[in-house]
Amino acid sequence: IMSTTHTAFIIGNVYLKTTLISGEYPDIRRVIPKKEDTTVKTNLKTLMDAVSFVDPISQNTDFNIIQMKFNKDTIEVSAEDGKTGTSKTIIPCENTNKKEITMRCKSKNIREILKHSEGEDIFIHLLTGNPIRFEQELDKDYVYVTAPLRAS
């Protein structure tokens, strides 16, 4: 079923309706950063555990923000709430250019990316002030991008 503004699909007992995009679809190649200041490699499960560890504190904030500070050989994952306090954990990583970058992101975005990634390690491509590009180890055709809330 299709109109000029909507389309719908009926599959068995499921009815799915969506609004069509008006105008030209954005060029996705412009959203995904092509270069980076540094690439960080870390264990996928360890990073998932670190995000899960600080996540309860981030849930107390208005925007569910976590901070990731990418150091020369560690990642500090933290969340802070004025009433509850701070939660921080440090995990090992390999930082190709040894450039230190701090990114603040929505916890949910990072959890979703990690949940859908496969392999033992994950690669995080960082360019200060730009979206963060995650590349999974087993299938390099899948690239995940999330925008930082603030980079420094």
Average pLDDT over residues 78-99: 91
**Structure confidence at residue 61 (pLDDT):** 59
* 151 strand-pairing partners: 103
Count the neighbouring beta carbons within 10 Å of the beta carbon of residue 36.
Answer: 20
- Measured CA distances, 94 to 8, 20, 21, 97, 139 (Å): 47, 43, 41, 9, 20
Average pLDDT over residues 64-93: 92
Task: Give 68's Cβ-side CA count (13 Å radius).
Answer: 30
pTM: 0.78
